[in-house]
Structures are given as C-alpha cells and as structure tokens.
Amino acid sequence: MKDESTLLEVKNLKTHFFLDEGTVKAVEGADLTIRRGGTLGVVGESGCGKSVMSYSILQLVESPGRIVAGQILFHRQLKCNGQSQMMDVIDLAALAPNSRAMRDIRGEEIAMIFQEPMTSLSPVHTIGNQIEEVITLHRRVDHATARRQAVDMLRRVGIPKPEERVDAYPFQLSGGMRQRAMIAMALACHPSLLIADEPTTALDVTTQAQILELIQELQRDLGMAVMLITHNLGMVAEICEEIVVMYLGEVVERADVFSLFREPLHPYTRALLRSIPRLGQIKQGRLDPIQGAVPDPYNRPVGCPFHPRCAQMMPGTCDRIHPELIERRDNRAVRCLLCEP
C-alpha cells in the first residue's frame, strides 16, 4: 500500500507510561495506514490503548507517558505554486512534542476532536475566539478575516445563526451544538486528517447520528481522511472503509469493513462481534460477553496478550509465544498463532 495515496503510516508504535508502580505499556505495537481521504476505524475495549495511540500521533501524550519506539510517517503534500505537488515524509514520532515542526502539523494538517465537547472547549472564551485562534495561528490573516472564516465554518457545521453564535460561550450551547463547534474548530484550517476520539460518546443517540452524518458530509466536501476511534462497532460499520482492532495496546487485526464483519479472523474480533446486540436476537436471551476482563496493565500476560480470555487457546503455545502481525495476501493482517501459515 505504498503509493501516492498514503497519508499516514504508523509502524510498530510503542507508547509507555512510566509510573511509580511500574511501566504501563499502553501502546505496544500499533501498525496502521490511512489513505488520503480514507476512513479508518480503530476499535477495542476501554483501556486497549486506542486513545493513547491517537494522542501519540499528535505527540499529545503527557508525562510520564512517552513514545518509546516506532515511526509515525506523515506524508505531507507541499503545494508549490499550485501546480507541482511535492511529497514530504515526516516522522512525527521523532519530533519533540513542543517543537515548531510538530506545532505546525497540529491543527493545520492533523486536527482532533474529543469525547466531551463541554470540557474540551474553554468555558470562559467564546467559541468564535477559540476558532479564530487556530485560524490566525496557521494562516496569515487579520482578525476580521479570521472571524469571517469562523462564521463560515460554523455555518458549514450546521449551527443556526452563526453570526450570533460566534459570540456565544460553550455553556450557552447544547451538547450537539458544542460538538459541532468543536468540529468547526478542528476543520478551520482544512486539515488532511481528522482524528475523532469517540466523538459521539457523550451525546444522545439522535445527536450521535447527526454528528456522524456531519463528519461524513464534511469529509466528502473537504477531502480529508478520518480516523475514528470508538468502541461502537455499529458506528464503524456505518462510516469506515477499513478497521483496525486493538487489544491491550496491540493491533490484533486489520481488514476492510466488509471482510471484517463477514469473516473475522482473530478470536478477539469474533468475540467482539458476538457481543453486539442485534434486533431479533432477543428470543435467544442473553448477550454473549467476552469472558474475563482486560488484564492488569502492569502484568501483561506472557505470550499472546489475549490467551487468558481466548476460547481457542492452545496450551503450551499461546501462553508462550507472542504472535507477530502477519500480513495476508488479501490486504488484511492478523496477529494470532491460529492463523499463522
């Protein structure tokens, strides 16, 4: 998949947290690729490292967390005189978190929206002020232009009366409107990648659907790629083209959305899919949850991290050998000893 269309490649990323109690390997081998304009879903249980992985891409992991290994290759398109397009590959993992180069990427090339639209916006600044800030930071425009662009952006994300709402404070807006404002802020500089970290978790179900539609619509209009982090498989099925499944900081399976739902390879993916409630399933009674809980982060299981909860565990093998992520010919990848040739 190394062609012109590649936007971001994460290779064997490891982000660890060095705490007094020990080292938490929050991300322990994440590999993924995002195409220009593509949509990638990252799914997994709480604590599987999907958020930390996305924070790592923007170098937003705070001390005592640190990226300890791996590469994050961002293929930046440089527009020279509007005609020839040069590609510049930057390894974000090698940049210092507060370096100029990293800050130029944030907000301008890669933007992020978060779970809680209330607490993710400053309560004491107007949303206009917060949107204008990112515009004046990355574009050489005066205040009036930035304000006009902010109003345009608010209109684009479907906020009614944007000329008035631009001066509103976050607490004067509803949850859905706040998330729209957040999206307007993230997209103000037309980034080539939007990372959405569970963008609808804090919203009610009807608003969730609206926000998802909005993201899809803006993605089509602006041609940006979207990385959607979620534990909601239904959401992933709806808008993503490719899916990465994470377990305990590792990518355990990667596939296009159709193959993954039709033929899940990893036992964990199968267990995840079995645990989704379906209409018409009520008669059979209870849902089928995954056995056990996510292991203690300080004591990762030896061998395959999923073996203590795996129904198909092979004693003597799975609890000894740590499987590698195997690339298959059909452009899928899986990390399981059962699937090794």
Partner 1 sequence: MLQYILRRALLMIPTLIVTSLVAYIIIELPPGDFATSYVANLAAQGDMASQETARVIREQYGLDQPATVRYLKWMQGILTQGNFGIAFELRQPVSSFIWERVWLTLALSLGSILITWALAFPIGIYSAVKQYSIGDYFFTFLGFIGIAVPGFLLALVLMYVQFKYLGQTSGGLFSSEFLTAPWSWDKVLDLLQHIWLPVIILAVGGTAELIRIMRANLLDELRKPYVITARAKGLPEWRVLLKYPVRLALNPFVSTIGWTLPFLVSGSIILSVVMNLPTTGPMLLRALQVQDMYLAGALILILSVLTIIGTLLSDILLAWLDPRIRYQ
Query: 28 - beta bridge partners?
Result: 14
At its nearest, how many Å lie between partner 1 and the CB of residue 80?
A: 22
Nearer to partner 1, 133 or 288 (CB): 133
CB of 193 to partner 1, least distance (A): 12
In whole angstroms, the minimum distance from the beta carbon of 122 to partner 1 comes to 5
Nearer of residues 138 and 266 to partner 1, judged by Cβ: 138
Q: How are strands ordered across the β-sheet holding 326-327?
A: 110-113, 193-197, 225-230, 39-43, 242-247, 250-256, 333-334, 326-327
Say if residues 95 and 104 touch (Cβ distance below 8 Å): no
Q: Write down the least CB distance from residue 118 to partner 1, Å.
A: 9
Closest contact distance (angstroms) between CB of 119 and partner 1 is 5
- CB nearer to partner 1: give 65 or 303: 65
Q: Which is nearer to partner 1, 3 or 62 (CB)?
A: 62
Distant-in-sequence, close-in-space partners of 140: CB < 8 Å, separation ≥ 6: none
Determine the Cα–Cα distance for residues 199 and 279; give it in Å rounded to an integer: 25
Tokens of 140: 């050489």
- Measured from the CB atom, the residue of 40 and 134 that comes closer to partner 1 is 134
Give the Cβ contact number of residue 161 at 10 Å: 10
**For the sheet containing 84-91, what is the strand order?**
22-35, 6-19, 65-80, 84-91
Residues that bind partner 1 (CB under 8 A): 55, 58, 60, 98, 103-108, 111-112, 114-116, 119-126, 133-134, 137-138, 169, 171-172, 182, 185
